[in-house]
Structure 1
Amino acid sequence: MAAARVPAERAAAALSALSAAAERTETCGWPGRVSGVEDARAEVIDRGRTLSGALDSVALAARIGPDMLGASERRRYLLIVQNPAESRATGGIIGGFGLLTADRGRLSLDGISGNGSLPGGPTQQTPATVLPGPFAARYASFWPDRVWANANLTPDYPTVGKLYSHLYRTGTGIDVDGTISVDPTTLSYLLAASRPAVLPDGQVVTSANLVDLVESKVYARIPTVPARDRFFAQVGQAVYAAVESGSGDTTKLLTAMSKAAKEGRLNLSSNHSDEQDVLSTTALGGALPTGSGPYLAVVTQNATASKLDYWLRRRTSYRVQRLPNGAGAVTIAVQLTNMAPDGLPEYVRKREDVRNFGGNPQAQNNLWLSVYTGRGSLFAGAHLDGQPLGLTSGSEDGLPIVSTYLTVDRGQTRTLELKVLEPQAGPALAVRPQPLPVPERLDVEGVPVTSPWSRRVKN
């Protein structure tokens, strides 16, 4: 990896020069269209952008990868497996964890446990850190500095990583070098690129059944929390053993991790500032965007301590009308459908946000729904199921946010429609995905879609 750094940086510089030259080349008007010069120029520019992203990733990995893998000193990372059945901004609540050690490129994973064994308990007695003022204004009432399950209410993973690191240090006395968050879908990608996992009792866990097993079926099969914790730990150990067994294809494993990072399912933070600066420019770092332009992030978070979000289906449409002054009149519609079947265990259906709710036999879900838009955008009104609705307004890192709590009955679809004025209608809409058990369906009209990290300045 270290040896790849200089060649990758040289290749990236050469490709940048080629792309710049292609963009400066004249299209030659009608003769260029007839002769194919215009098409060739467009193809060079398009392929250059694609290759540039790949080379940037290689160069960044070669730049920080060796040290992060313990080339100069041993590194320790808190590995977190999130459970999207109880959703949070970066995926789901912490469902399991372990300590990953990297020593000169050799990896070992210890202390794999379910969330019943969280250091300091699920809610720590004292705050693990001091929350910054603007962040505290939005999140302090949820105790993200004390409650493990609420450390990732923010979609900004660098902040999440710091909170997890502080909580772990407070609970164990151990300083970690960073954090790694994955979800069961990520683990299923890794199994598909390696081999099935085998549990101590001989049960085989495959890429096809892993997600359904740990996010849904386990609650009916194993009724007690301690027994489920042991099962989650066994699954984690078995998946790790399958991936490190050497039976997989390295290219497929890297492709699987790249796919998970682009979907927001694999995030990495570093407590070394130079490394974190690099990570924040990538999908793997999961940082909120720093650039201007149209932006969209829809975030749904479980407000009941249930596991009903496994049955949540989400569809979002984004339509923009370009105005003469260059701004965009935007309509955003978010549809939420509760597909929960009858007969789910009471643990899955529980409503801890409501006293004496009678076990919630109808599996009603309650969600904290937030919509993030671009810097300088203005909220112009909302309707819920066709009726006017007032929303809570706020901001995070300069991004405007509107939020509301929303109940969704079994079999019900609710639609929140927003009107927003973006100061720019383009050139592209940066969309931040939220990892869900079933990926969101997104329809965008009037503007191309890009990654939010393509706008960050690379160091």
Structure 2
Amino acid sequence: MARQRIRVQGRDALLVAVVAVGSGVLAAIAGPSPTGSATIDAVLVVVAGAAAVWAAASAAWWTGVAAAAVAAAFAPEWYLLVLAAMATLGGLWIGLQRRSLPWSRALVAGVALQVLARLGDIERFGVTSLLGVGVMLFLAVMGIVRRPRRERRVMWWVLGGLAGGTLLATAGFGVAALQAQADLEEGNTVARRAIDLLGSGELAQAQVEFVRAAEVFGDAGDALGRVWGQPARLVPVLAQHRDSAVELTRSGAEVSQTIANVLSVVDYDDLRVVNGRIDVDSVAILQQPLSELDAAIGELERTVRETRSPWLVDALGSRLDDLLADVAEQRVTADNAMTAVQQAPAMLGADGPRRYFVAFTTPVEARGLGGFMGNWAEITITDGKLTVTDFGRTKELNDGGDAAGKTLTGISDEYVARYGDFLLLDPDSPDRVVGPGVWSNITGSPDFPSVAATMAELYPKSGGREVDGVFVLDVYAIAKLMEITGPVDVPDAGVTIDPADAASFLLTEQYELADSAARVDVLETVALTTVQRLLSTTLPSPPELGRMFGQLAREGRLAGWAVRPEEQEVFDRVNMAGRLAPRDGGDGLLVTLNNAGANKVDAFVDGSVEYQVAVDRENDRVSGVITITLRNSSPTSGLPDGVIGNYVDLPPGTNRTFLTIYTGLPVLAYSIDDVPVGMETGTELGYVTSSTYVDIDPGQERRVVLFVEGSIPDDVAYRLALSNQPLTRTLPATVTVDGVSWTPEPVTRAGVTYLP
């Protein structure tokens, strides 16, 4: 059966032309971007859209129905769905009329075009453009085959020419892309290597790599810009790939060169502490180049993020994802460095003396923060000059000041409820006068800002002076400092402590010394000698110090706090704040031990933490079982009473701990060794706290189990902030969610781990 021909002429031709041009203009106004160039897109959409609608004026009625139905199926808004539905009904009406009605057929196609032009991004790889082009091309072809022979011949020649031009443009871009591919891949690799070096503080090497990245990206841009790659700008989808690659090479070259130029004037060696002094002016001078560096990295991040568009195929897209992750991480590092440099002059006494309290702790007598504070120091900084202005033992602070005037009025009611029994003479008294052993228990909370604020308030009332900030270092941090300052002689004990052995000696071996007075002096001698040497030598550069102490800061073994919020932000940004891990709407778990026997038996305690979680998405509930195993390997003799004895009349070697479990979910039940028990409950900084005293005999293992259950938002995936207390022997933790292990290897490091 011969195909029905439709001749569009006379008044119909005029109406069809008006509908076609109008449809093309309206489609262009919607802003579809098949090539990524505003001018080219506008011309292309108007011409191609008008041509397709003009050709569709002679297409079979059912093709218009099909096109409108496809548009309706993908319509993102209700009004577009209504418009597409009306076009579908219009096409059906044309079919029922059994008449040509060319302008009506064109109108149906034009309406379908309007919806297709407003689909937005459906999926990756330019699906929206491919769908729109495909539907309109289908209408055009179906219309062309029903035109008179002469018109068909002309149209086929036009379509053939367009297809040939597209093939040539694709081939030309393919050649250009092949010529640029090696340089693009090398540029990506070199840029990532440069960013890694920059993050490590190796500025000279980073500068060399950024210069190389600029050269390689420039070479890639030259290859993509050759004449045979230019026609690709006119081909939908292909043009987006080309533009993404060209923009990446252009910006990559410019920004890499900018970063290299900035790095040529940045020298972190100027920030070294030399003989107890840091050049404050050198710190201030760095603000301008670091600001430029931050801006350049931000521009690189913006370019890579925008270049990583839905148009890119996986091969290039995955490489950009890796580069984007590196750039985003370095952007945070650059922001942190900028904040630190802005605040550093004031913190270093440029505007007047600054005073800082330093607590030296040891986890052999556990506290929630990590360990008991055995010694302390006061450091004053004036115009960059660091001086030890006081040093002493915890007992001096316990005994210092007017007992009646030693109050803690700045702590919260929640803090009093949690730690009042350990800090205050009478927790129920509004005066909040501290107890005689307050400084011995002051590190009971795992949240360093809370502990530091308490220290800052209490120190002036204990014989000290007002301070601008507080630092804490445990024996592992002191041992790391000794890698800079060298071995320490302790004449009274007759020993020389090497940096490599310092941690183990301070944690266990010192307690084997026969002379108890000498033993008490060990930590004091090591800490004071190390600090004094630090202030009489040249320290490593800030990036080197960051590499040395970064892990200790993440573990909570080294932390800092500032009275002024803008300066506290520095510690927060560099992960040195020592905060109780924020849950941010998720679950949380932390187990802490607070020694309640006034001995050093915590050096012999180990165990494990296991958390089994079940998520009930149907009811938006989470339940879990927390199993805590604690073992005590302390000897019963052979060590001094101050080590294995206690003040609660328990046998030697017994560990009495005030065990606290911090959970994100409410606790339903508790048991110790399968016997149901009660616990003291409360809250602290968004956590539910469950506490009890547990005695562990030498050689004994105790098992504590908690059952938790609570709700979770229906639109939030389950996640967990898992924290480990910085003990002598950190308790390995494992997590299982719905029978799947989230910790293939137990988490053994102190600090916080966010899962998954």
Tell me the TM-score normalized by structure 1.
0.84
CA contact (8 A) 1:89 1:301 kept: yes
Q: CA offset at residue 10 of structure 1?
A: 2.6
- 1:128-150 deviation digits (Å, cap 9, x = unpaired): 32242222122212125441012
CA contact (8 A) 1:68 1:75 kept: yes
For 2:646, the equivalent position in structure 1 comes to 351
CA contact (8 A) 1:96 1:112 kept: yes
- Distance (whole Å) between structure 2 residues aligned to residue 198 and residue 243 of structure 1: 16
More helix per residue: 1 or 2? Answer: 2
- 1:294-320 deviation digits (Å, cap 9, x = unpaired): 222211110111111111113222333
- Distance (whole Å) between structure 1 residues aligned to residue 467 and residue 549 of structure 2: 22
1:438 aligns with 2:729: yes
Residue type of the alignment partner of 1:260:
L
- Distance (whole Å) between structure 2 residues aligned to residue 122 and residue 231 of structure 1: 26
1:231 aligned residue (522, 525, 536): 522
Residue type of the alignment partner of 1:312:
V
- 1:48-92 deviation digits (Å, cap 9, x = unpaired): 554355334323322323221222221111111012111111111
CA contact (8 A) 1:194 1:249 kept: no
- 1:185-240 deviation digits (Å, cap 9, x = unpaired): 11112223553334457843222221232233333315435x44433322112222
- 1:349-377 deviation digits (Å, cap 9, x = unpaired): 2222x2x44xx23x110111111122xx2
CA contact (8 A) 2:611 2:734 kept: yes
Inter-CA distance 246–77: structure 2 relative to 1 (3 Å threshold): same
- Distance (whole Å) between structure 2 residues aligned to residue 121 and residue 350 of structure 1: 27
1:398 aligns with 2:693: no
Inter-CA distance 365–14: structure 2 relative to 1 (3 Å threshold): farther
More strand per residue: 1 or 2? Answer: 1
Alpha-carbon RMSD = 3.2
Moved more, 264-273 or 185-194: 185-194
Residue type of the alignment partner of 2:644:
R
For 1:388, the equivalent position in structure 2 comes to 676
- Distance (whole Å) between structure 2 residues aligned to residue 116 and residue 179 of structure 1: 19
2:611 aligned residue (311, 318, 327): 318
1:101 aligned residue (380, 394, 401): 380
Q: CA offset at residue 280 of structure 1?
A: 4.6
1:143 aligns with 2:423: yes
For 1:260, the equivalent position in structure 2 comes to 552
Aligned-partner SS, 1:93? strand
Aligned-partner SS, 2:322? helix
Moved more, 39-48 or 165-174: 39-48
Residue type of the alignment partner of 1:340:
S
Aligned-partner SS, 2:360? strand
1:328 aligns with 2:622: yes
CA contact (8 A) 2:673 2:702 kept: yes
Q: CA offset at residue 441 of structure 1?
A: 1.6
- Distance (whole Å) between structure 2 residues aligned to residue 224 and residue 199 of structure 1: 13
CA contact (8 A) 2:556 2:751 kept: no
For 1:298, the equivalent position in structure 2 comes to 591
Inter-CA distance 158–104: structure 2 relative to 1 (3 Å threshold): same
Inter-CA distance 258–46: structure 2 relative to 1 (3 Å threshold): same
- Distance (whole Å) between structure 2 residues aligned to residue 344 and residue 327 of structure 1: 50
1:209 aligns with 2:489: no
- Distance (whole Å) between structure 1 residues aligned to residue 514 and residue 632 of structure 2: 24
- Distance (whole Å) between structure 2 residues aligned to residue 319 and residue 43 of structure 1: 33
Inter-CA distance 431–55: structure 2 relative to 1 (3 Å threshold): farther
Aligned-partner SS, 1:208? helix
- 1:138-193 deviation digits (Å, cap 9, x = unpaired): 22121254410121211221221121122210122511111111101111122235
- Distance (whole Å) between structure 2 residues aligned to residue 327 and residue 13 of structure 1: 41
Inter-CA distance 52–341: structure 2 relative to 1 (3 Å threshold): farther
1:182 aligns with 2:473: yes
- Distance (whole Å) between structure 1 residues aligned to residue 447 and residue 337 of structure 2: 23
* Structure 1 gap segments, 5+ residues each: none
Relative contact order (C-alpha < 8 Å, sep 6+): which is higher?
Answer: 1
1:6 aligned residue (286, 291, 316): 291
Residue type of the alignment partner of 1:213:
F
Inter-CA distance 249–173: structure 2 relative to 1 (3 Å threshold): closer
For 1:117, the equivalent position in structure 2 comes to 396
Inter-CA distance 26–182: structure 2 relative to 1 (3 Å threshold): same
Aligned-partner SS, 1:432? strand
Q: CA offset at residue 322 of structure 1?
A: 2.7
Identical pairs, percent: 25
Inter-CA distance 320–92: structure 2 relative to 1 (3 Å threshold): same
Tell me the TM-score normalized by structure 2.
0.53
Q: CA offset at residue 428 of structure 1?
A: 3.6
